[in-house]
Structure 1
Amino acid sequence: MNRLKTSPLALTVLAAAVALAFSVIVTALVLSISGFNPPSTFQAMIEFGTQPDSMVNTINDASIYYLAAIAVAIGFRMNLFNIGVDGQYRLAAMLSAAVGGAITLPAGLHQLVIILTAMLVGAMWAGIAGLLKVTRGVSEVISTIMLNFIATGIIAYLLQTERLGRQVAGSDNIGTEPIGSSGQVGGIPYPGANLKIFGLVILAVAVGITFHVVINRTRFGFDLRATGLSSSAAVASGVDARRMVVVAMVLSGAAAGLVGMPQLLGSSHTYALDFPGGIGFVGIGIALLGRNNPVGIAFAALLWAFLDQSSNILEFNEIPKEIVAITQAAVLLSVVVVYEIVRRLGLRWQQQAVATELADRNSAGKEVAA
C-alpha cells in the first residue's frame, strides 16, 4: 500500500483500470436491457478486433487519433481549449493535397513539401484564434468553433471542378489532383494481413517523443506550463504570456495539420469529399482520457480505435453499433471522475507523508537536544 501511495504511475493505472471496468459494466447493462447477451457480444468484438486486418486498421486509426489528441494536448498544457483541430486538419489536408498533386519532386522532398505545407496551413489557421485572444480578448473556444465552419466553407468552395477539384474516375466523388508516386508513403506489412500499416505511423511516434521532450525537458515547455497554471505568476517571472498564447496555438495548429497526413500519403493520395472528418473532436476525448501525457494518449488512442474497429462486427449480429459509442462515452466520463478522486487521494497521502516526516524530524531534534 505504501508503494501505491508514493507512485503516481500506479495511481494512474489504477484509475484507468477502474474506469474501464465501470464502462464495461455500463455497456453490459445496456446490452442486457436491450435484449442482447453481453458475454457473446464482447467475445465477438474481441475476436473480430484481433484479426490481422482489424489490427492494421486499429493501428492506422490510432495513429491519426494520436496526432489529433497531441494537437489538443498542446493547448491543454497551456490551459487553452483548441476545439478547432477538426477544421485545421481538414483545411491543411486539402491544401497540402492540392500542392502535392500540382508539383513533381524527387521522393523524400515531395513528401516533405506536402507535410510542411500541411503544418504551415494548420499553424496559420490556429494562429488566428491565438491572435484574436491576445488582441481582442476573444475566447479560443468561440473563435476555433467559428473557424471550423469557415474552414468547411473554404474547402467546399475550393473543392469544385472549376477550381482545385477533379472528378474521381469511376465515381461521382470530387477530389484534388492525385499525388504522384514520389509523394506517396509506402505501408508497413503486418503478418497475416492483406492491408498495410500507414508508413507515417512513424510520424505519430516522432511527434509524441517531441511533445514529451519539449514540454517536460525544455525551458520553453516550462514557460508554457507555468503560463497555463498562472499567467500572472508567469509574467512576474519574466514570461511574455501573450506571446505564449499565440505560440501555443500555432504549435497546436501545426500538429493538427499532420492529422490527415497518414491517410493522405498512405492511402487516399487525394483529398476528396469522403476524406475522414470529425477526428478533431475524437482527439479531445482521447487527450482527456490520456491525461495529456504522450504515453497515456497512445493507449487511449489504441483503445478508442480498437472499439471503433471491433464495432463493425455488431451489425452482422444485428446489434446497433451505437453500443460502442456508449462504451466510449462511459470510459471518458468515468475516467475523468476516477482521475479526480485519485488526484485527491494522492494529494491527501502526500500531505500525510509530509506530516509524518516533519513529526519524525521534530522528534529526532528533541532527542538530540535532550
Structure 2
Amino acid sequence: MKKFDKDRLILGLAGPALALVVAVALTSLVLLVSGRDPIEPYQIMFDSASYVDVQVLIINQAGTYYLAALAVAVGFRMNLFNIGVDGQYRLAAMVAALVGANVGLPGPLRIALIVLVAMLVGALWSGIAGILKTSRGVSEVVSTIMLNAIATSLVAWLILPKNFGVQPAGSNNLTTGDIPESAWFPGLSLGPEAGEIYGFTFVAVACGVIYWFVLGRTRFGFDLRATGASESAAQASGVDAKKMVLTSMLLSGAVAGLVGMPTLLGDTHTYSIDFPAGIGFMGITIALLGRNNPVGIALSALLMAFLVKSSASLDQHGYEKEIADIMQGLIVISVVVSYELVRRYGLRRQQQKVGEELAAGGALKTEKEEAAL
C-alpha cells in the first residue's frame, strides 16, 4: 500500500514538474530565436523577487489567485467548468463595495456584511448557470461565458454617475464611493518599506483548509466527487445529481465572490473602472496546474504571482515584461500535454504491476503444486 501511495505521489508531481520544465524550455527557445539572452530574464526576475516589498506583492497576489483557483476547483471536482469566475467576482466586488460605502454599520459588522454580500452575489450569478444546466441542459461553459459578458455590461451600467457611481473631482475614473476606514480589513504590516500583507490573504488560506476538509473528509464532499465521476452511479446510490450540480455551482460562485475582497478591503477600498480584471481566467490555469489539490493550488498561485510581479522589472533591462505572459500561456498548453503523458504512463505502469503480480502468483502456485507432489 505504501508503495502504491508513493507511486501516486510521484505521478501527481510529475505532471506539474514536466509542464514547468517544458514551459521554461520553450520560453527560452523563443528568446533565443528572437536574438535575446535565454537565461538573463530569469535571473532578473529572481533578483527582483529577492526584495521584501516585491515578496509582499507576490504573497498578496497569490492570495487573490488562490481564491479564484479554489472557486474553479470546486466546479472541477464536480466535473463542471465554471468559466464565469471573472464575471462573478467583479459583479460581487462592485455590489459589495456599494453596500460597504453606503450602509451605516460599525466596522466589524460592515466588514461581515461586505463579505456576505459578495458571497451571495457571486453565488446567485453562478446559480443562473446551475439552474440552466439542471433545468434545460445548457452547458455551463456556454452560459458562464455569456454571463461574464452580461456581468461586465451590468457593472459598467451600475457604476455610471446617474446610477450608483461617483466621479471624483478632477478625475475621469468612476467609483462606488469609499468604504470608511473603520471597515478596512486589518493586515500584517512589515514596515514602511516592505508594505502590508492583506489580512484577507489569511482568510484565503482558511478557505483552502475548509475546501480540503469539506471535499475530502465529509459525506457531502464524497457525494459531490462521486457525482462528478459518474452521475448515473451517484443516482443509483441515492444521490440527487441535479441538486449536487446546482449546489456545486452555488458554492463555486460564493467562493468566486471572495476573489475581489483582498483588493477591495485591503487596498483600494472602493470599486472603480480600473479594478483588477482577468483573475478568474488565471484561476483556471492555477487550478489545472495544482490539480485541484489545495497545496498544489497554493504553490501554483505563488508561481503565477511570482511571474506577474517579478516580471515588472524586465522592461528596465531591455526585456519585454510580456515574457511572463508567454510563459503563462505555455504553462497552460504544457499542463494539458504533460498530464496526458503522465496519465498514459501511469496506466502502463499499473498494467505492468498487475502483470508482475499475476506472474508472481502463478509461479507461487506452481511451486506449491510441485511441493504437494
- TM-score under structure 2 length normalisation: 0.94
AA paired with 1:360?
A
CA drift at 1:156: 1.1
Partner SS for 1:351: helix
Contact 2:16 2:290 in 1 (8 A): no
Cα distance in 1 for residues equivalent to 2:329 and 2:51: 25
Counterpart of 2:88? 88
Q: Does 1:311 align with 2:350?
A: no
AA paired with 1:8?
R
Counterpart of 1:323? 323
Cα distance in 1 for residues equivalent to 2:363 and 2:343: 30
Counterpart of 1:66? 66
CA drift at 1:174: 1.1
How many residue pairs align between the two structures? 369
Cα distance in 2 for residues equivalent to 1:15 and 1:124: 35
CA drift at 1:278: 0.9
Contact 1:52 1:192 in 2 (8 A): no
Counterpart of 1:50? 50
- Post-superposition Cα deviations, 1:37-58, rounded to whole Å, max 9, x if no partner, equal 1222221111012211111111
CA drift at 1:13: 2.4
CA drift at 1:192: 7.9
Cα distance in 2 for residues equivalent to 1:329 and 1:103: 42
Equivalent positions of 1:1-370 (< 5 A) are 6-190=6-190, 193-365=193-365, 367-368=367-368, 370=372
- Post-superposition Cα deviations, 1:215-269, rounded to whole Å, max 9, x if no partner, equal 1111111111111111111111111111111101000000000000000000000
Contact 2:89 2:122 in 1 (8 A): yes
CA drift at 1:132: 0.6
CA drift at 1:171: 2.5
Cα distance in 2 for residues equivalent to 1:355 and 1:133: 43
Identify which range, 333-342 or 268-277, moves more after superposition: 333-342
Cα distance in 1 for residues equivalent to 2:120 and 2:167: 27
Contact 1:65 1:279 in 2 (8 A): yes
CA drift at 1:311: 1.2
AA paired with 1:145?
I
Cα distance in 2 for residues equivalent to 1:326 and 1:38: 13
Identify which range, 347-356 or 106-115, moves more after superposition: 347-356
Cα distance in 2 for residues equivalent to 1:4 and 1:50: 39
Cα distance in 2 for residues equivalent to 1:113 and 1:299: 31
CA drift at 1:191: 6.6
Cα distance in 1 for residues equivalent to 2:77 and 2:278: 22
AA paired with 2:111?
Q
Unaligned stretches of 5+ in structure 1? none
CA drift at 1:356: 2.8
Identify which range, 253-262 or 9-18, moves more after superposition: 9-18
Cα distance in 2 for residues equivalent to 1:41 and 1:109: 47
- Post-superposition Cα deviations, 1:104-148, rounded to whole Å, max 9, x if no partner, equal 322322211110110000000000000011111111111111111
AA paired with 2:156?
A
Cα distance in 2 for residues equivalent to 1:51 and 1:107: 33
AA paired with 1:111?
I
Cα distance in 2 for residues equivalent to 1:50 and 1:13: 26
- Post-superposition Cα deviations, 1:168-201, rounded to whole Å, max 9, x if no partner, equal 3552211112111221112212378432111100
Contact 2:56 2:194 in 1 (8 A): no
AA paired with 1:195?
G
Cα distance in 2 for residues equivalent to 1:121 and 1:332: 29
Cα distance in 2 for residues equivalent to 1:342 and 1:192: 46
Identity value in percent: 55
CA drift at 1:16: 2.4
Identify which range, 274-283 or 357-366, moves more after superposition: 357-366
AA paired with 2:132?
L
CA drift at 1:363: 4.1
AA paired with 2:185?
V
Partner SS for 1:108: helix
CA drift at 1:347: 2.5
Supply the RMSD in Å over aligned alpha carbons: 1.9
AA paired with 1:275?
F
Cα distance in 2 for residues equivalent to 1:184 and 1:7: 47
Cα distance in 2 for residues equivalent to 1:39 and 1:363: 55
AA paired with 1:162?
K
Cα distance in 2 for residues equivalent to 1:216 and 1:63: 22
AA paired with 1:336?
V
Change (3 A) 1:101 1:6: same
